Amino acid sequence: MELLLSNIFLAFTTGLISSFGHCLGMCGGIVAIYSARQAAQTSADGTPITVWTRIRNFLPLHLGRITTYTFFGAVIGLASSLLTQAGGMMGWQGAFSVLVGIVMLLVSFSLLGILPPIEATLLSLSGGNTPMTKMRELFGKRSFFSTLMLGILWGFLPCGLVFAMLILAARAESLLGGALTMLAFGLGTVPTLVGFGLAANLISPKLRGSLQSVAAILLMLFAVQTILRGLAVANIIPSLIIGPVMLW
């Protein structure tokens, strides 16, 4: 339970903080295009353009995106659980935890700019094929289902931060834990992305870059904790317990 709560806290906090930097940079264009086309259509049919109307139009979009994240989280959480059960040894759990921590560490270095952007690697692995082509067909449509599908496809776009959170979801080693981890991350990104780019106008690029660095450092700290916890499970180093809290 403690591990799950720390996963959810990290995922939500990372989503909330990184949305001002990484998410606006990666997904701000999608939000801007969708918002502009929806506003144009709303103006054409004479419907008043209110803040609530825009928020309401965005809700199924983000519902679809978070649904994709949650599904992936459930799948990878279940897979890690099955791997742990198949291993049947504490040593395997420790090795898996160390591996997850190392990947999280590499992703944090990528977010800090120390390593190349992980999005480029993910795109190369996919051969450059992304769901964006299908998404373009849905940008101008206004039905709930088309907007929901647009959001679902959005969730499939290669993203280094999503990849990092999926690695975190694997650390939960359960279907529910993985799903809740990705759900928390998705919810954390909503406030900024639903802000229709307002945060991008209010916050300077320099500050957004600093916030992304904060998210990367937070991810790095949890990566180190995950590695140390794996080493402790494998009985390579002693566990560290402070009061009721087990650090690793």
Residues 111 and 243 sit within 8 Å (Cβ to Cβ): no
pLDDT of residue 184: 95
CB contact set of 203 (below 8 Å; sequence gap of 6+): 20, 211
Domain that holds residue 232: 2-246
**194: which DSSP letter?**
T
Residues 11 and 184 sit within 8 Å (Cβ to Cβ): yes
Confidence (pTM): 0.70
User: In the chain, how many domains are there?
Assistant: 1
Rounded Cα gap, residues 159 and 177, in angstroms:
21
Rounded Cα gap, residues 145 and 92, in angstroms:
43
pLDDT of residue 82: 83
Cα separations in angstroms, 68 against 8, 63, 73, 170, 183? 17, 9, 9, 16, 9
pLDDT in tens, the chain (248 residues): 767 888 888 889 888 877 666 565 566 667 666 666 665 555 555 555 666 766 777 788 889 999 999 999 999 999 888 877 765 555 566 777 788 788 878 878 887 888 877 666 666 665 556 666 677 777 767 778 888 988 898 888 777 778 878 888 888 889 999 999 999 999 998 887 776 444 444 555 566 567 667 777 877 887 888 788 888 877 788 877 776 556 66
Rounded Cα gap, residues 176 and 122, in angstroms:
26
